[in-house]
Amino acid sequence: MDAITCDGERISHTVREPRDAAVAVTVVLLHGAGTSSSERLLPLLGEFTGRGCRALALDFSGHGESSGALRELSLERRFVQGRAVIDRVVPEGDELVLVGFSMSGQTVADLVGHYGRRVRAIGLCAPAVYAEEAWRVPFGDGRGAFTGIIRRPESWRTSRALEAFAAYEGTAVLVVPGTDHVIPPAVTEAVEEALTVRSRYRRLDLERADHHLARWLRYEADDRRRFVDAVLAEPRTFDWVAKQLPDGERVRSVHRLRGGGTSQMRLLRTETERDLVLRSFVKPFYRRHAPGLLTREAEVLGLLAGTDVPAAECVAVDATAEFCDAPSLLMTRLPGEVRVDEVDLDARVELLARQLMGVHGVTVPQGARPRPYQAWTAPERVRLPEGTARPELWGRAMEVIGREAPAYEGCFLHRGFHPGNVLFTGAGEGLRLSGVVDWVETSWGPADLDVAHCSTALVLLYGVECGLRFAERYAAHGGVLSGDPRARLYWRLLDALAFAPYADKVARPWRELGRTDLTPQVLAARLEAYIGALFGGAGV
């Protein structure tokens, strides 16, 4: 092993060169905490060099062959030592691939923040992230300040690592073991949520492995190869996009669009000043269901092309990721933007009601109808707000949705119609509803269900009264709802309870658009008050 002196310590490291001397990629392997060292990473090191990469593994101070005491190490010193070795050993022009195990999930994030676009890919193996206040604190002997900070419930949510992952745009692979008694599931979920914002994200589940993934990959050659394959995979999506464009037209710029809760949305501008939107499903749940979702959306966009509904035109779709990094749909861009503030709110809600009437009026031949609606919750799936003082109210609501669905006259449903899926242009007297997006859940079912969904979203965004009035506005524009109050209550509750416990997740794109007032507490209180109002007869 070689060594450099930095941070007052002798930091040992191993570098292996590939046979191809023209390599311009260096993989940096970072071990975890405790008794970990770079020694168990040597087989992984060899796998990367066998793929033509330079590979580097180092021992942080207090580990392996490096000097120093583990109790004196800190997250900050790990970053300083990793940066020093990279700057000393890696050729200046090399792209970086950073692979971190457990505690080094935080170190990878710190290095990504430092090296920026030079980082081509990251691999996170059962990663940990830590509270910002823990960064400079020495690890100690397990009874000191560092341990106190990290054992404080939810302290990790202030980690700067999550911001770094959310800003990262390269390849990101998250390896999740089947059993992990070290990293709380909520940490893994938060890391995944951050990575899906911008990166080319892939998740690799190793069902038979436990938290100690460095040891696992040392001996499990097939999984080791799968991991390296994923980390080194070349981006494919924009090659596919290029093939969908007319000869001579090229993508000039790519910008992320804010507000996409289920997928990554990118605005592509071509050299001919044409704007396209690329939708990609990277989150595991939506990736699994993408073949049905994106195929349905492509078909619906084709159907809507001959109607007055302002919808995009589908350019191409790769619903199974045969050609793209993730299942994707390329479509034309609609004018306007999502608006969730309170400017022109009353006028916007009127336009929402009128447009929803237009959606429900779409004529579809019986053989071309979309699938029947699917309920998004059931009594056993509802989670009561933490600390609720009205458990009996929730019990009554769950009893209602546990009954057989009322009879209904079906129509064409958007199924996800709410302010976050509608675009507006202008202001004041010039305000216009310019587009309706996100047609992946299009269904055939009762108009009440679409009205209920928009009503619940309005409640969460603007309060109970705004949501309760939406059905009246819809009816005022000629919309026909069930004549049975019990049926109307059923449909309203069926939608409202689907937001428990997911209201906070639904609101994340709204917060990104500026609605930082929509805290989990505000959302839970509004949802509960709305359910109470429905039982009082309001809005039904």
Mind listing the pLDDT tens digit for each residue in 392-408?
999 999 999 999 999 99
**pLDDT (mean) for 160-184:** 97
Q: Is the pLDDT of residue 20 over 80?
A: no
**pLDDT (mean) for 401-418:** 97
**pLDDT (mean) for 440-457:** 98
Q: Is the pLDDT of residue 538 over 90?
A: no
Sign of CA pseudo-dihedral 333, 334, 335, 340: negative
> Do 16 and 45 form a contact (C-beta atoms < 8 A)?
yes
- CA 58/CA 81 separation, integer angstroms: 9
- CA 129/CA 482 separation, integer angstroms: 50
pTM of the model: 0.84
What percent of the chain clears pLDDT 70, i.e. is strictly above it? Answer: 99
Q: Which stretch of 168-182, 228-242, 256-270, 362-376 has the lowest confidence by average pLDDT?
A: 256-270
Residue 217 has a pLDDT of 98
Q: Is the pLDDT of residue 367 over 90?
A: no
* pLDDT range class, residue 306, cuts 50, 70, 90: confident
- Angle, in degrees to the nearest 10, between helices 42-50 and 221-232: 50
**pLDDT (mean) for 134-149:** 95
Classified by CATH at the fold level, domain 345-535 comes out as Aminoglycoside 3'-phosphotransferase; Chain: A, domain 2 (3.90.1200)
Q: Which two tokens stand for residue 226?
A: 């799968």
* pLDDT range class, residue 540, cuts 50, 70, 90: low
What percent of the chain clears pLDDT 90, i.e. is strictly above it? Answer: 91
Q: Where along the chain do its domains lie?
A: 2-232, 237-332, 345-535
- The residue that leads in pLDDT, 143 or 224, is 224
* pLDDT range class, residue 134, cuts 50, 70, 90: very high
Residue 24 has a pLDDT of 86
Q: Which two tokens stand for residue 309?
A: 């509904």
Question: Burial of 503 by CB count in 10 Å (0-12 exposed, 13-18 middle, 19+ buried)?
Answer: buried
- The backbone torsions φ and ψ at residue 449, rounded to the nearest 5 degrees and listed phi first, read -70, -40
Within a 13 Å sphere around the CA of 375, how many CA atoms are in the beta-carbon half? 19
The three-state secondary structure class of 324 is: coil
> Do 453 and 418 form a contact (C-beta atoms < 8 A)?
yes
Count the Cβ atoms, other than its own, within 10 Å of residue 270: 17
**pLDDT (mean) for 169-197:** 96
- In the 8-state DSSP scheme, what is residue 70? G
Q: Report pLDDT digits (tens) over 467-498.
A: 999 999 999 999 999 999 999 999 999 999 99
Classified by CATH at the fold level, domain 2-232 comes out as Rossmann fold (3.40.50)
- The residue that leads in pLDDT, 420 or 260, is 420
Place of tokens 């492509």: 298
Q: Which two tokens stand for residue 313?
A: 């035109």
- Our measurement of the distance from residue 277's CA atom to the centroid of its chain's CA atoms, rounded to an integer in Å, reads 18
Residue 539 has a pLDDT of 59
- Angle, in degrees to the nearest 10, between helices 345-360 and 447-462: 160
- In the 8-state DSSP scheme, what is residue 405? P
Residue 35 has a pLDDT of 83
**pLDDT (mean) for 133-158:** 95
- State in Å, rounded, how far the first CA of the chain is from the last one: 74
Q: Which stretch of 112-126, 157-171, 259-273 has the lowest confidence by average pLDDT?
A: 259-273
Q: Is the pLDDT of residue 21 over 70?
A: no
- CA 12/CA 64 separation, integer angstroms: 8
Residue 410 has a pLDDT of 96
Domain with residues 237-332, CATH architecture: 2-Layer Sandwich (3.30)
Mean pLDDT, all residues of the chain: 95
